[in-house]
Structure 1
Amino acid sequence: MRVIVTRESVCMADDVHAPHQVDSDYDGDMTLGDFLDDVIRRRYCTPYRGARWAMFHKGASHGEAPIGEVSAEWPGPRFTDEADRERRLDSLAPASGDLRLEFRYHAQSVPLAAEPYYDNTHVPPSTLAIRTAFLLSDVTQSWRKLRDRLRRTRGTV
């Protein structure tokens, strides 16, 4: 079956290629979970930290409601109550043919598909080292400014 996917732009430079349409053929037996795993693998939705990509079913009889969501912060896709990971793609396709899905960008927003997922246990050690180095650098600079101010103050008294 043919699946037509579009996504919103994330910045002005990205607008040049909007609506970022990709037409692909998929097996109708494929599940939503496997489809979204493929979208993540292909990096179709830019994986910015703090960004959520909500997937909407275009042309659905029940209106445009989100059915799934992906984020770089989660280990995998999440689904709304109306859809689940095991739902088949062909169950969403209209009788007229092509399945149309759209990804919408939500920066720093509360997830639409599930409770927020916060997991700091997967932060790589190199990232922690960099964050610690920046923190120590800021503390050192603040301490030096304070020391210099005290020296100037003592010299004028």
Structure 2
Amino acid sequence: MRVELTRDSVAMGDDVWAPHADVREVPDDASVRDVLDAVSGAGYLASIAGGRATWIAETADGTALAVVAQQWPAARLLTAGEGPIAGLADAGGVVRLHFVYRTQADPEAELRRLAADQGGHRPR
């Protein structure tokens, strides 16, 4: 399965490469967690001095799937991020994920806010 990635820039010098497009091929049965763990572990998301960058993984339509924090060992999924990555594919079989940079925002607070936006579902 083809996963197309984009992410926000973290600084003006980082803007040169915006939107930081990348493509990953993942197994059709991969979970959203599998993909997010692979992306965050491969250095795609910029890290910042101080070690507290916060990212929100979103689908092409802006649905929040998870919060990824530089200080966390793994992404924390929202209800929309549970399940197989194939469930997010468009008609052409491509998944598009965008990572929104939330600076050094408290990732726990971001997780609570997003969970409330998704109908009060508890983040996992």
Q: By how many angstroms is 1:53 displaced?
A: 0.9
Q: By how many angstroms is 1:114 displaced?
A: 4.8
Cα deviation digits, residues 19-66 of structure 1 (max 9, x gap): 00001211110111111111122110112322111111003xxxx121
Matches within 5 A, 1:96-115: 96-111=92-107, 112-114=110-112
Root-mean-square deviation (CA, aligned residues, Å) is: 1.6
**Cα distance in structure 1, aligned partners of 2:111 and 2:77:** 5
SS of structure 2 residue aligned to 1:16: helix
SS of structure 2 residue aligned to 1:96: coil
**Cα distance in structure 2, aligned partners of 1:108 and 1:40:** 16
Cα deviation digits, residues 83-108 of structure 1 (max 9, x gap): 22xx1110111223211100010112
Structure with greater helix share of residues: 1
Q: By how many angstroms is 1:68 displaced?
A: 1.0
8 Å contact from structure 2 (residues 52, 71) kept in 1: yes
**Cα distance in structure 1, aligned partners of 2:26 and 2:79:** 24
Q: Give 4+ residue runs of structure 1 displaced > 2 Å after superposition.
A: 81-84, 110-115
Using the size of structure 1 for normalisation, the TM-score is: 0.64
Cα deviation digits, residues 89-148 of structure 1 (max 9, x gap): 101112232111000101121333359xxxxxxxxxxxxxxxxxxxxxxxxxxxxxxxxx
Using the size of structure 2 for normalisation, the TM-score is: 0.79
8 Å contact from structure 1 (residues 3, 26) kept in 2: yes
**Cα distance in structure 2, aligned partners of 1:82 and 1:38:** 18
Structure with greater strand share of residues: 2
Equivalent pairs counted in the alignment come to 109
Equivalent residue number for residue 33 of structure 1 = 33
Equivalent residue number for residue 70 of structure 2 = 72
**Cα distance in structure 1, aligned partners of 2:58 and 2:93:** 17
**Cα distance in structure 1, aligned partners of 2:96 and 2:58:** 9
Equivalent residue number for residue 81 of structure 2 = 83
Listed as ranges, the gaps of 5+ residues in structure 1 are 116-157
Listed as ranges, the gaps of 5+ residues in structure 2 are 114-124
SS of structure 2 residue aligned to 1:82: helix
Q: Which structure is higher in RCO with an 8 Å CA cutoff and minimum separation 6?
A: 2
Structure number with bigger Rg: 1
| 1:6 maps to 2:2 | no
